[in-house]
A and B are shown apart, each in its own frame.
Chain A
Amino acid sequence: MARVRAHDADAFEALYDRYHRLVYGVAFRMLGDAPTAEDVTQAVFLKLWSAPNLYQSGNFEGWIVRITRNRALDILRSKSHGHSELPEQQPSADDLEETAFADIDAGLVRAAIAQLPAEQRDPIRLGFFGGVTHEQIAQRTGVPLGTVKTRIRAGLRKLRTTLEGTVSV
């Protein structure tokens, strides 16, 4: 990132090669169509180029995932025309350190998520990729709100524990 901050196009290209599948994948999962996911990917990387200082420190993967999700949420928000309440953007690292598993493999995470019980896995996926609030999850699944929250927390803890045994934070 230091080289990207110095407007080194080669470094930027390497960064794109390394992370574009992640950015595009998150955008696609949230938006559901390739052209819009490409637009988000382009917007994220151009923002990274024009304002590289937005990223300060911490785990870059976690940061770029959050930036991508927030961008996709903006699009979902513009499409909803305010008819439904969307979750707030992913918490920033302003007051909390950006933490994530270092160099974690996407396949490994998919396997870990697959091990979660469906009652935990589904609200987590819906909450993260669906761009919906916990109340909307409760409404869609017919599960009480308190239970949804408890299952989300339990699922995230289990995911953390599973991954913790294979990679470091």
Chain B
Amino acid sequence: MNTSAHDEMLDTVAVYALGALPEREARAVREHLRSCAECREEYRLLAPAVSAVGISAEACVDAASAGASVAPPGPLLKKRIMQQIRPNVGEMRAVRPIVWPAYAVAAACVVAVLITSIFNTSLNSQLRESQTRVAQLNAHAAATARELNTQRTAIADLLSPDSQRFEVANGYVIKHGSRLYIAMNALPEPPKGKVYQAWTLRQGASKMSPSVTFVPNGSGVAVVPVPVNAASVVAVAVSVEPDGGSKQPTSTPTFVLKLAS
């Protein structure tokens, strides 16, 4: 490219920098700039001036006095743009933790404490009921165990060859060591509202003491441990008494047995 042609290219670079070249020529200039340092330097020199031309169009509030061609846009434009920006920001901020005001936090804590308290009270009540139920079951189990143990002992005593058997009406009185049993095998059912009651006469006593009450089963069988130290008892009797027992016999005894002292 001769000097004249290159000078013309430098002029073309200026038009390129201004952005006033048609596309076909602009492509050629771009290619040329890649290989020509002088033209590239010319571009760098003129580009700030072109930007300044654009800046000269900046809208101005006092456009007329400032020599500007236009006043700035109204606030509605900004509002319109920011309305499109903020929703995006809202979406981004939606994932941020919500900061509650102090009074709301306090109120929430009070509600939480109340709910917890009510829940705890309910749980405590249920716990107490459960504990009572467990205690009752334990007591029942213990009583059953004691009863079972008593029956086992009774069976052992009744079958023991060492026991003393005393035949009475409808059955036997059995003594084994310190334990005493009334074992009926054909005892009639007592009248309605009545039960059988055992009586014991302790050594040295002047009258019978009231002891356990009982009724036979449907077969007329009743095995009754008498809660007394057999070693101190000299006589045993059974009578029909009102339900709940009596302090002293109110009917003729079905039997009276004197034990050997």
Contacts and interface: CB of A to CB of B under 8 A. Distances in A.
A61 interface: yes
A101 B33 contact: no
A168 B21 CA distance: 28
Contacts of B14: 149, 152-153, 156-157
Given A42-B77, A95-B34, A25 B20 contact: no
Nearest to A12: B85
B27 to A, nearest CB: 8
A42 B14 CA distance: 30
Contacts, number: 220
Contacts of B147: none
A51 to B, nearest CB: 13
Contacts of B19: 66, 69, 87-91, 127-128
Interface string A51-76: 00000000101100110110000000
Given A28-B70, A109-B53, A157 B45 contact: yes
Contacts of B67: 107, 110-111, 114
B60 A21 contact: yes
Interface residues of B, number: 56
Interface in A9-49: 9, 12-13, 16-17, 20-22, 24-26, 28-29, 34, 37-38, 41-42, 45-46, 49
Contacts of B34: 95
B78 interface: yes
A129 B57 contact: yes
Q: DSSP majority for the B interface?
A: helix
A3 interface: no
The residue among B54, B70, B73 with the most chain A CB atoms within 10 A of its own CB is: B54
B135 interface: no
Given A104-B52, A137-B20, A146-B8, A29 B57 contact: yes
Given A96-B33, A156-B46, A22 B18 contact: no
Contacts of A29: 57, 69-70
A160 B49 contact: yes
Given A25-B68, A106-B68, A149-B12, A99 B48 contact: yes
B256 interface: no
Contacts of A90: 19
Interface string B1-25: 0000000101111111111111100
Contacts of A160: 45-46, 48-49, 52
A62 B81 CA distance: 22
Given A127-B15, A127-B19, A96 B40 contact: yes
Contacts of A157: 14, 45-46, 49
A69 B19 CA distance: 9
Given A29-B69, A62-B47, A101-B51, A127 B56 contact: no
B72 A9 contact: no
A125 B53 contact: yes
A127 B18 CA distance: 7
A128 B49 contact: no
A24 B70 contact: yes
A66 B48 CA distance: 11
B51 A97 contact: no
A42 B57 contact: no
Interface of B: 8, 10-23, 26, 30, 33-34, 40, 43-60, 66-70, 72-73, 77-78, 80-82, 84-86, 88-89, 92
Given A59-B51, A110-B67, 8 more contacts: A16-B82, A22-B58, A28-B70, A29-B69, A61-B55, A106-B58, A127-B20, A133-B22
30 contacts: A16-B78, A25-B58, A41-B73, A41-B77, A42-B80, A62-B51, A66-B51, A69-B54, A87-B21, A90-B19, A91-B17, A91-B43, A96-B44, A96-B47, A100-B48, A100-B55, A101-B48, A106-B57, A110-B56, A124-B18, A124-B53, A128-B18, A133-B22, A150-B11, A153-B10, A157-B14, A159-B49, A159-B52, A160-B46, A163-B49
